[in-house]
Structure 1
Amino acid sequence: MNRISWLAVPTEDHTHEGVLKLWQKAEANLGFIPNVFRAQALNAEQFLAWWTNFNLLVNREGHLSNAEREMLAVVVSGLNRCVYCAVSHGAALRTCTGDPILADTVAVNWRHARLDPRQAALCAFAEKLTLTPADMTEQDLYPLKQAGLNDHEILEATQVIGMFNMTNRVSSALGFQPNTEYHQQGR
């Protein structure tokens, strides 16, 4: 197995029962265990707390569509140059949209993608919040509202963007490597 983190990665024999259950569920649903699950298992309780929040924001039905949440993940991860998240969520965006060209273009430069006004407003908001969070003002919400987003959707978008900024920093700081399976998904 190739190295997936710059830190130690526990074996199944040395992994928390709750993490093992999550690994089994992921393998059943995806056909593999995401490396981020293996790498973060070193601190099982913190990983499970992160997963609960991440799962709620990204994988459960919410105010934004799955494609919108994955698009935000790809924009944020691309801006942060987080290899793990850009690759894994690029795969998820390809899968949920069925459009590999859109997903690949968003990953490199969302401005070149064929986006509707709502998607473009979300991407612009994600970019500003990621690159210059101290410069945010109430006016930054206006393009989102003009594109038809309501307050629930704006709050969820902000939470998703925040989650990915945090997750990108953990993944990048510790050298998490994406599973090879992600490179083929949705193509």
Structure 2
Amino acid sequence: MSASLSRFNVPETLDELPEDIRTNILAVQEKAGFVPNVFLMLAHRPAEFRAFFAYHDALMERESETLTKAEKEMVVVAVSARNRCLYCVVAHGALVRIYSKDPLLADQVAINHHVSPLSERHRVMLDFSLHCAIEVGELTDQWIDRLKNVGFSQEDCWDIGAIAAFFSLSNRLVTLAGTPPNEEFYLMGRVPRG
């Protein structure tokens, strides 16, 4: 493994890692066909790796009331773009393309969702995401009304805010470590699988 994956120590081999982390990484490798660099970067601190992915999975893998997987990933991309986190824009942009089956959507969300051909639901969701990630993030009655008017529940408001907050943390850690996105992410969801 390459030290260029992080400014901090990364394991030389997966055998150096605790069994549970090694098993987790190998499962991701089997599903994706490669090991995302963020897994190796976070393996620098095993306890933090476990906590990070436990919260990640609690947010991103749980069924929301109306929020889809594509919408969750759109939140990640919008927040990550605003935080200038190349890794998360590229990696989660791939997931937006895959879940939405739209090869253009991730780029539109990352650059400027206000001029993109998005639904009002998605514009409000992304506005609220940035409010939570960049501004104070207070859930006011006005925000509740705006979000409910486009079909989100109170629980969805939590999910959107929590994803925005969590990925603000993730953006900062990846930037701190200088972890680049895997090349594989760039084409995922853009071109048909061969």
Contact 1:106-1:112 within 8 A present in 2 as well: no
Partner of 1:178: 181
CA distance in 1, matches of 2:61, 2:182: 19
State the alpha-carbon separation in 2 of the partners of residues 159 and 128 from structure 1: 12
Q: 1:14 aligns with which of 8, 13, 16?
A: 16
Q: Could you state the TM-score of these two structures normalised by the residue count of structure 1?
A: 0.94
Post-superposition Cα deviations, 1:103-161, rounded to whole Å, max 9, x if no partner, equal 11111111122111211110110122222126764423321121121111111111111
Structure 1 distance, partners of 2:62, 2:185, is 20
Superposed CA RMSD = 1.5
For 1:27-176, what aligned pairs fall within 5 Å after superposition? 27-63=29-65, 64-133=67-136, 137-176=140-179
Deviations 1:79-124 (A, max 9, x none): 0001111110001001111111111111111112211121111011
* Secondary structure class of the residue paired with 2:45: helix
Q: Would you identify which runs of 4 or more consecutive aligned residues in structure 1 move more than 6 Å? A: none
Q: Among the aligned pairs, what percent are the same residue?
A: 33
Contact 1:57–1:156 (Cα < 8 Å) also in 2:
yes
Asked if 2 retains the 8 angstrom alpha-carbon contact of 1:27 and 1:33, the reply is yes
* Matched letter for residue 31 of structure 1: G
Alpha carbons 1:76, 1:127 under 8 Å: kept: yes
Q: Given residue 117 of structure 1, which amino acid in structure 2 is its aligned partner? A: E
Task: Tell me the TM-score normalized by structure 2.
Answer: 0.91
Unaligned runs of 5+ in 2: none
CA distance in 1, matches of 2:189, 2:81: 18
What is the CA–CA distance in structure 2 between the aligned matches of 1:76 and 1:86, rounded to whole Å?
9
* Aligned residue-pair number: 187
The amino acid that maps onto 1:49 is A
Equivalent residues of 2:144, 2:154 under 8 A apart: no
* Structure holding more helix per residue: 1
